[in-house]
Amino acid sequence: MIDVVWTISELEQFSAQDRPGVLIDVLRASTTMTTAIHNGARAVVPAASIEEALRIGNSIGRDNVLLCGERQGVRIEGFDLGNSPSEFTAGVIRQRTIVMTTTNGTRALKLLSGASPVFIGAFVNLRAVARELSRAERDPLIVCAGLDGRVSVDDALCAGMLIERCLKKRSKRAGAPELGDGAIAALALARQQGTVSVDFLRDTAAGQALERVGLGEDLALCAKVDSILEVPILRDSQITRLELAEQTADGVKRK
Ligand code: MLT
C-alpha cells in the first residue's frame, strides 16, 4: 500500500521499516538537496540541529565542509550558505561536502531512517523519483515534512503528483497498488490542481513565509517540475546521487 503522511507527527502510526521512503519538503529542503546533488556536491550530510551540524562539521574538518541551512528561512549565522536552491551552484558546491540543517526537512529525514532506500523528492525531480519507486518491490511511505508540525499543501501536492506518476507506470504492469487514505487525499489534490505553479506556492504558508523574508524568488526554482534527472538517496547518514551510492555499495553502476 502506498502511504502518505501529511505531517511528521503521523509518522509513528506507520512502519517505514524495509520499504522505500521518500522525503518531500518542497519549500525548500528537498529542492535544495536535489539541486546540490545535481550540481555536483560530493554529499549532503543532514543534521537535525545547529549543534549537530557544527559537531559534524568539526569532525570532518571545518575547512572541508560547507555548513548550510536556515532558521526562520534565513541563513544561520556563521554558516556558509542558507537554504536557497539558487545558492547551490556548481561553482560553489562542486565536489564539496555539505552539512545541512533546516527547520523541518532535515528533522523529518532523520525520522525516516528506518526506511530503505530513502529518496529525496521534490517537484524538480518527480519523474526520476517515480522511476525509482516503480523499480522497487515494495510500496513506498511518502513523508511530507510539513511546516512546524502542520500540513504544508505544497508537500501534499508534490506527493499526489508523485503518486499519479507511479500509478501511470504501474498501470503498464498487472495490479494497481492499494492507496492509504493520506495517499488518496494527496492524489485527489493533484488531480484537482493538475500541476504546480508559482502562484500556488506563493499562496501556501511556507511560500508566504519565504516572501516575508525576501526569498520569494526561490518559489520559481522550486516549481520547476522535472528540471532535474537525479535522485538523491540517503545512505549511511549522507545523501548522494543514486548512481554514486550504488557504485559504492555494490561496485556496479546501474543502467
Ligand atoms: C525546512 O526544512 O523547514 C525548510 O526547508 C524551510 C526553508 O527552507 O525555509
Q: Is 105 near ligand 1, meaning CB less than 6 Å away? A: yes
Question: Which of 27, 154, 211 gets mutated to test ligand 1 (max ligand atoms within 8 A of its CB)?
Answer: 27
- For 134-170, b/e burial (b = at least 16 CB within 10 A) is eeeeebbbbbbbbbeeeebbbbbbbbbbbbebbbeeb
Question: Which of 23, 24, 70, 101 gets mutated to test ligand 1 (max ligand atoms within 8 A of its CB)?
Answer: 70
Task: Kindly tell me if the per-residue pLDDT of 249 is higher than 60.
Answer: no
Strands 238-241 vs 232-235: parallel, antiparallel or unpaired: antiparallel
Q: Report how far ligand 1's centroid is from the alpha carbon of 171 (Å).
A: 34
Q: Report how far ligand 1's centroid is from the alpha carbon of 104 (Å).
A: 6
Q: Is 101 near ligand 1, meaning CB less than 6 Å away? A: no
Phi, psi for 25 (deg, rounded to 5):
-140, 80
Would you mind telling me the total number of residues written for the chain in this entry? 255
Digit-coded pLDDT (tens) for 80-138 = 999 999 999 999 999 999 999 999 999 899 888 789 999 999 999 999 999 999 999 99
For residue 255 the three cell numbers come to: 543502467
246: left (phi over 0), alpha (psi -120 to 50) or beta: alpha
Predicted local confidence at residue 104, as pLDDT? 93
Predicted local confidence at residue 68, as pLDDT? 98
Task: Kindly tell me if the per-residue pLDDT of 254 is higher than 70.
Answer: no
72 CA: nearest ligand 1 atom: 9
Q: Stretch 146-157: mean pLDDT, rounded?
A: 96
Q: Report how far ligand 1's centroid is from the alpha carbon of 250 (Å).
A: 33
Model-level pTM?
0.93
Question: Which of 35, 68, 87, 103 gets mutated to test ligand 1 (max ligand atoms within 8 A of its CB)?
Answer: 103
In this structure, of 6-15, 33-42, 98-107, 158-167, the range with the lowest mean pLDDT score is: 6-15
215 CA: nearest ligand 1 atom: 9
Task: Kindly tell me if the per-residue pLDDT of 227 is higher than 90.
Answer: yes
Residue nearest to atom 9 of ligand 1 (CA): 73
Q: Using alpha carbons only, what angle is made at residue 240 by residues 236 and 246, rounded to the nearest 5 degrees? A: 75
Predicted local confidence at residue 169, as pLDDT? 84
Predicted local confidence at residue 172, as pLDDT? 63
Q: Report how far ligand 1's centroid is from the alpha carbon of 47 (Å).
A: 13
Q: Is 29 near ligand 1, meaning CB less than 6 Å away? A: yes
Q: Which domains, and CATH codes, for the chain?
A: 3-238 (3.90.1560.10)
Q: For CA atoms 146, 119, 94, 51, give the dihedral sign.
A: positive
What's the pLDDT band for 12 if we cut at 50, 70, 90? confident
Q: Is 115 exposed, middle or buried (0-12, 13-18, 19+ CB in 10 A)?
A: buried
The reply to whether omega before 117 is within 30° of 0 (cis) is yes
